[in-house]
Amino acid sequence: MITRQRLAAGAFTLLAALTAGLGTAGSAAADADEPAQPSPKVELVLDVSGSMRARDIDGKSRMAAAKQAFNEVLDATPDEVQLGIRTLGANYRGDDRKTGCKDTELLYPVAELDRAGRTEAKTAVATLAPTGWTPIGPTLLKAADDLKDDNAERSRRIVLISDGEDTCQPLDPCEVARKIAAEGIHLTVDTLGLVPDAKTRDQLSCIAEATGGTYTSVRHTDELSGRVKQLVDRAADPVATPVAAEGAAQCSDAPKLNAGVYTDREKFGEHRWYRVDVKPGQELRASVSVGADRAVNQDYGVLLRASTTHGREIVRGSEAGDGRTDVISTGLRYPKPEGDDDEGTDEGEPAPETVCLQVSNSFSAPASVKTTPGLPVELAVDLVDAPDEASDVASFGLGNGWWLLGALILTGFLAGLVWGWVSRWRFAVWRTN
């Protein structure tokens, strides 16, 4: 019996070692640490004009909904993000337009938030009351100055929350946004419209589009807090600055894209094409997100399809939605294996294959909703070294992890054998006693 017990213990030890080895295999293959990125800067810009008194968000005022959202966002802000808060229309109650259009204040300076800083920022927000004008253009200029410094690699983001149009024309907020984008300081402006009308939506969409940002229409408190959290978290991840690219109606006329992030606008139910050159030994990884920046009908979807220039489908990704989220995304992977029949270029390198990427959506809108401009599209393209077993990746869709599935199956099989042997041994001992 002592021998059998030792044998069983040895089997369990072997099984545990195999399982532990599987758990550490992935970490052993991790990439070396990259140089630390400069901490991103985010400034939340809140409209505190008189119209924020309206009580049409979940039975409470727009101002109350914004305060609740800000409290939740401040609690969830990543430690590495430098965050500030600026207001517009919070102080001047009079009728003098010139004075009202200067009414913008840095409520909390851009800095990393410790516990005391979060409390201070919450206290400052709690004191706000809907007051005056809506100087969006002047406020954007001030906010851009708040985020400037000497670090050209730093990511910067303004999140503008407003419920109305700018009241300080002729300083057009869209022109201000274009000026900010032209300065090349890696600054993105995302806009959120609280229960917006058509004019407000158009203006906020224009501001966001000018800087490669996004526009979101908000009608509920949880939508507001969720979207702002998402944008702050996005700032914490180093991402490429989106580049505008206009897709074509057919692949032959499509723009040729390199690795990067691209933005476009797509009409309801439209198909748009883009082209990517993939060299032998590379893997194309692409993803697309389509934003519902206005009210849309339920039951919609997005398709990302890769095909040859002759129309033969290679691979596709698709996703469907039912109106519970404002963004829908899908992606695909295509490894281009190396082969003896690859044609070469004049420089002796293997010739790339042109892959056609088709982006399609099945959105529709109620009759009362404007369908122009089109829906915002973000397309991400990456080209990496293809895995060694490219054919297995294409067939099973498991990437470099297919071997792990096989190892887990083998582990389960061995565990079953050991458990069965121990059960039989224990039964035999019981009968002997």
- Higher pLDDT: 412 or 241? It is 412
The model's pLDDT over 325-366, given as tens digits with 9 standing for 90+, comes to 577 889 999 998 876 455 655 556 778 999 999 999 999 988
Sequence-distant (≥ 6) Cβ neighbours of residue 133 within 8 angstroms: 49, 88, 89, 92, 97, 100, 101, 103, 167, 168
What is the C-alpha to C-alpha distance for residues 154 and 148, in angstroms, rounded to an integer?
9
* Contact predicate 262/378, CB 8 Å: yes
Is the peptide bond prior to 138 cis by the omega test (within 30 degrees of 0)?
no
Task: Quick: pLDDT tens for 59-113.
Answer: 999 999 999 999 999 999 998 899 999 999 999 988 888 899 999 999 999 999 9
150/278 Cα distance (integer angstroms): 37
pLDDT, tens only, 374-408: 888 999 999 988 665 433 333 334 444 555 666 77
Measured distance CA(34)–CA(56) in Å, rounded: 47
C-alpha distance from residue 355 to each of 317, 380, 395 (Å): 15, 15, 19
pTM: 0.56
Q: In this predicted structure, what is the pLDDT of residue 13? A: 44
Span 5-27, average pLDDT: 43
Residue among 185, 259, 238, 261 nearest 36 (CA): 238
Any bridge partners for residue 108, and if so which? 85
Structural domains in the chain plus CATH codes: 41-236 (3.40.50.410), 260-396 (2.60.120.380)
Kindly write down the DSSP assignment for every residue of 176-211, as one continuous string: HHHHHHHTTS-EEEEEEEES--HHHHHHHHHHHHHT
How is the chain split among helix, strand and coil, in percent rounded to 5?
A: 35, 30, 35
Q: Which two tokens stand for residue 54?
A: 């309206």
